[in-house]
């Protein structure tokens, strides 16, 4: 059957935790404790990666690398990455359960596409220990995909590697990459989809890429909301997304569009 068989959703910023705030504040805090002031924007750039890879990516940013060298008199090393991560994980686990509310529209959309016979998979930048907090809390609130996997299940090869998507395909028995849609809220999600050869969809409102809480977004004027949406959309498209949606409620329409493209012999764009 030449149509979409499964949808793979990211977790924080896509399915739960509007704005993906749980990890951001902790990244800022652990760097501050080391004497390095990082901006919210810098903390968000690698979002979606396995969290130790995220720390490594932050330390590799030219401005932060220079600050680190200025403070410690040497370039950062792997021990520094591990020291920061050892502080990050317990700090995140303390607050993580507070950031497990499903994003508005997600539960209804998942039910709608399930009713059409699609499987719901998921990937994440969180570790298994973190997901042991997130999954049961999200389930109590009504969100439960058919399968989830963390980079712990793929030898720590998280995004942008495609292996978590491949594991979803294997377990959910999805027959071809071009019958799979990956939905995420970061450029890491888009790159993961591209590398796996699946259709990539960036979700804008509530995304880490936009970086606003629900209250902050609602407080913007209509014109400023449109600017924030356009800026986020451009970032996703520039990084190779096949489609963007403002909210998850638009996903069923996108799946219909993809089904139409598949029936015409189209495949995820070679980028």
Query: In the annotation, is 51 catalytic?
Result: yes
Q: What is the torsional sign of CA 110, 112, 113, 114?
A: positive
Q: Tell me the C-alpha distance between 196 and 198, whole Å.
A: 6
Query: In the annotation, is 10 catalytic?
Result: yes
Of these residues, 10, 17, 189, 242, which one is catalytic?
A: 10
Q: Tell me the C-alpha distance between 243 and 252, whole Å.
A: 12
Q: Tell me the C-alpha distance between 67 and 71, whole Å.
A: 6
Q: Say if residue 45 is exposed, middle or buried (CB neighbours under 10 Å; 0-12, 13-18, 19+).
A: middle
| Beta carbons within 10 angstroms of residue 264's beta carbon | 8
Of these residues, 17, 29, 32, 51, which one is catalytic?
A: 51
Q: Tell me the C-alpha distance between 85 and 37, whole Å.
A: 17
Residue 185, annotated ligand binder?
yes
Residue 221 exposure: Cα atoms within 13 Å on the Cβ side: 3
Instruction: Output Rg (C-alpha) for the chain, integer angstroms.
Output: 18
Residue 29, annotated ligand binder?
no
Residue 228, annotated ligand binder?
no
Which sequence positions are flagged as catalytic? 10, 51
Residues within the annotated binding site?
Answer: 10, 12, 185
Residues within the annotated binding site for Mg(2+)?
Answer: 10, 12, 185
């Amino acid at each position: 059957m030449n149509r979409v068989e499964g949808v793979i959703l990211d977790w924080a910023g896509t399915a739960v935790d509007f704005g993906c705030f749980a990890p951001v504040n902790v990244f800022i805090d652990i760097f501050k404790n080391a004497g390095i002031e990082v901006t919210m924007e810098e903390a968000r750039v690698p979002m979606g990666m396995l969290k130790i890879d995220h720390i490594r990516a932050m330390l590799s940013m030219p401005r932060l690398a220079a600050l680190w060298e200025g403070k410690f008199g040497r370039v950062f090393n792997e021990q520094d990455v591990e020291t920061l991560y050892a502080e990050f994980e317990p700090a995140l686990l303390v607050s993580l359960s507070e950031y497990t509310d499903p994003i508005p529209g997600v539960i209804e959309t998942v039910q709608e596409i399930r009713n059409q016979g699609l499987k719901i998979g998921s990937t994440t930048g969180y570790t298994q220990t973190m997901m042991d907090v997130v999954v049961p809390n999200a389930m109590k609130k009504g969100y439960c995909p058919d399968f989830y996997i963390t980079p712990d299940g793929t030898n720590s090869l998280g995004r942008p590697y495609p292996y978590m998507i491949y594991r979803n395909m294997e377990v959910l028995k999805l027959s071809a990459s071009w019958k799979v849609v990956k939905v995420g809220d970061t450029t890491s999600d888009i790159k993961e989809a591209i590398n796996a050869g699946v259709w990539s969809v960036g979700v804008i409102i509530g995304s880490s890429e936009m970086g606003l809480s629900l209250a902050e977004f609602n407080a913007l004027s209509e014109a400023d909301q449109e600017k924030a949406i356009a800026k986020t959309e451009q970032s996703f498209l520039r990084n190779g997304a096949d489609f963007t949606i403002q909210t998850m409620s638009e996903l069923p329409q996108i799946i219909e569009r993809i089904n139409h493209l598949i029936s015409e012999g189209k495949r995820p764009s070679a980028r």
